[in-house]
Amino acid sequence: MNPDIIVVGSGFGGAVLASRLVDAGLTVLVLERGPWRDTVAVRAAGIERRKPLPRTGGMLSVLRSLRPPKGPRKGIRLNRYGYLEMWVGDGIKAPCTSNVGGGSHIWAALLERAPQGFWDDRAAGLSDATLASHYARVATELKGVRPADPSSIPNHADAAWSNEACFAPLEDGEQPPLGILFPGPDGDLSAVTDENGIVREPLDVNRDNGMFGSPGASKSTVDALFLLPALSRGLTVRDMHEVRRISADKAGGWTVEARDLRGGRNVTLAAPKLAVCAGTMNTNALLLSSRDTGGLSGLPALGKGLGANGDLIGRWPVEDRDSTIGPPSFGRVKIRGHEDSAYVILARGETPPVPGFLYNGARRKAGRFVDLVAMSQDAADGRIWCDKGRIRFAFDLKGSTSYAASMRAMDAVSEASGRPVAYPDTEVFTAHPAGGCRISDDPNEGVVDGGGQVHDHPGLCIADASVFPQPVGVPPSLSIAAWASHVADRIVRSN
Ligand SMILES: Cc1cc2nc3c(=O)[nH]c(=O)nc-3n(C[C@H](O)[C@H](O)[C@H](O)COP(=O)(O)OP(=O)(O)OC[C@H]3O[C@@H](n4cnc5c(N)ncnc54)[C@H](O)[C@@H]3O)c2cc1C
């Protein structure tokens, strides 16, 4: 039997959307190109086919695929179970992950809302007020917490870094919650079971729990918090299924052509509705290549308005501390004299996934730096397009005044601390690409309407950051999750 809806991708957008639709009684099939990851939560739920998170296998087991501007048109796949995909464009690079749970395995777990007014005046039926209840609900579900005593958490920005002369204090409520299960006051690290039966171990601050994933499941991930509970309510997830083409079928529904990467065969599936939630780069790529081969038509705004969320990553040497200890992000900081120029977080020193015998040396080296990650609402004047079957994309940071402001803020840290921050000033490395399928009621300006429905393609919707009309300029995943919850609401109402 065909499902009511196929969901492509299982990150923040896909997992939240799928979970809401299952709750509303729809039959939902999620297709995800990556594997279930072997965390305490996934293991305890009885998922049999799991692949380890990267740690000791070296970079080759980490890298799934490369999407370079030259070479094979469809990119180079190195390891179908690999964790990271690297997109390389003109003036911009963007990493994505490949897992059931998508980027929630790599994220630093900072839960931040879009700036006030972000959703207003974009399209009919959409506003900050419309999204408010969705933000509140997903924030609770992602289990964000502000530790009562930050000084009990090694390297937390509110305690361990507050004496740095280059930082100004945050106002009450400005430190965002972290989606981390912290140990209780007694420091007990025993596994706990939540209200949905999901098993997680609290954060062990001495263990690697950063961008290469959280084996104990202390980090909030959407496979554990949304997909596992939804499985018991009827959701179907097919992992290792990469969607290659989508097309409108004659009966008014949708046909999805996918590759079963484990079984090594092609599969064709159909449903009355289809939601694309493959993350900004892959959603744009899927829509562009499907249009290129006649599966979709029109969409004059597709690929316009690509932004990098103002991401600027500065490497800052630290003194007399080990920056590999603590949560994946130490929290938000404000740079003195540049308080309003960028949203800045401190990300911990990350030990690369080297083989075991190199681990201690690599960790010592990683512990001597932190990343200062600045985000801002850049001009979103990049684009993504299909060139003879190859997906190309371009972004020039010089088009955005916000980049210049972030660089001045980094320079101020260098000056005040006497420790120079090293940052790239000609090319962007963004963890948060956005746009290309922007929200607008005008099909010449945007691809989706205020409910996520693709213009002139009934039954097709998008739920990820590709729809953002401009970058949020802060960590975006809470906004992606809230948008997905809103899109699900619209689908249910229209059914
Ligand atoms: C180092 C790092 C730290 C971060 N920290 C934070 C943070 O603290 N806070 C925050 O808000 N955000 C953070 N982010 C960003 C966050 O990870 C992304 O915003 C988020 O994952 C995007 O969600 P998504 O659902 O749009 O896409 P994704 O999470 O990328 O999910 C898309 C899924 O679709 C799958 N997919 C892609 N193409 C196909 C296909 N053709 N067929 C089938 N499946 C497909 C992918 O494998 C993936 O699992 C961080 C990112 C990085 C890299």
pLDDT score recorded for residue 184: 84
Contact 42, 27 (CB under 8 A): no
Please report which confidence band the pLDDT of residue 57 belongs to, taking 50, 70 and 90 as the band edges: low
Two structure tokens written together for 444: 């010449």
Contact 279, 434 (CB under 8 A): no
Cα gap 393→371, rounded to integer Å: 26
Residues 42-71, mean pLDDT to the nearest whole number: 88
Contact 254, 263 (CB under 8 A): no
Pairing of strands 50-51, 254-260: unpaired
Q: Is the dihedral of CA 67, 348, 395, 289 positive or negative?
A: positive
What residues line ligand 1, using a CB cutoff of 6 Å? Answer: 8-14, 31-34, 95-99, 102-103, 106-110, 211, 242-243, 277-279, 282, 286, 329, 431-432, 464-465, 475-478, 480
Cα gap 308→377, rounded to integer Å: 8
pLDDT surpassing 80 at residue 345:
yes
Contact 405, 342 (CB under 8 A): yes
Whole-prediction pTM value?
A: 0.98
Can you give the residue ranges of every domain in the chain? Answer: 5-494
Residues 103-116, mean pLDDT to the nearest whole number: 97
Cα gap 52→31, rounded to integer Å: 20
Partners of 399 in the beta sheet? none
Q: Where are the alpha helices (DSSP H) in 235-391?
A: 280-292, 359-366
pLDDT surpassing 80 at residue 322:
yes
Q: Provide CATH code, domain 5-494.
A: 3.50.50.60
Partners of 178 in the beta sheet? 110, 145
> Which residue has the CA at smallest separation from atom 53 of ligand 1?
431
Q: Is 259 helix (H, G, I), strand (E, B) or coil?
A: strand
What proportion of the chain, given as a percentage, has pLDDT over 70? 99
Taking the centre of ligand 1 as the mean of its atom positions, its distance from the CA of residue 432, in whole angstroms, is: 8
Residues 244-253, mean pLDDT to the nearest whole number: 94
Partners of 145 in the beta sheet? 178
Two structure tokens written together for 259: 């590759």
Ligand 1 atom closest to residue 242's alpha carbon, by position in its atom list? 42
Taking the centre of ligand 1 as the mean of its atom positions, its distance from the CA of residue 277, in whole angstroms, is: 9
Cα gap 429→262, rounded to integer Å: 31
CA distances (Å), origin 409, targets 16, 125, 312, 329: 36, 38, 11, 19
The residue with greater pLDDT, 319 or 91, is: 91
pLDDT tens profile 141-194: 999 999 888 999 999 999 999 889 999 999 999 999 999 999 988 888 999 999
- Amino acid present at 244: R
Residues 131-150, mean pLDDT to the nearest whole number: 95
Q: CA triplet 81, 85, 89: central angle to 5 degrees? A: 160
pLDDT tens profile 7-34: 999 999 999 999 999 999 999 999 999 9
Please report which confidence band the pLDDT of residue 58 belongs to, taking 50, 70 and 90 as the band edges: low
Ligand 1 atom closest to residue 241's alpha carbon, by position in its atom list? 43
Ligand 1 atom closest to residue 211's alpha carbon, by position in its atom list? 1
Two structure tokens written together for 231: 């499985």
Q: Among 441, 99, 82, which Cα is nearest to 279's?
A: 99
pLDDT tens profile 177-186: 999 999 988 8
- A 10 A CB-CB count for 393 gives 26
Taking the centre of ligand 1 as the mean of its atom positions, its distance from the CA of residue 278, in whole angstroms, is: 8
Contact 197, 340 (CB under 8 A): no
Please report which confidence band the pLDDT of residue 56 belongs to, taking 50, 70 and 90 as the band edges: low
Partners of 247 in the beta sheet? 255
- A 10 A CB-CB count for 297 gives 11
Tell which one of 83, 226, 282 to mutate to probe ligand 1, the residue whose CB is within 8 A of the most ligand atoms: 282
pLDDT score recorded for residue 217: 96
Most confident of 69-73, 157-161, 339-343, 375-379: 375-379
CB-neighbour burial class of residue 419 (10 A; exposed 0-12, middle 13-18, buried 19+): middle
Mean pLDDT of the chain, nearest integer: 95
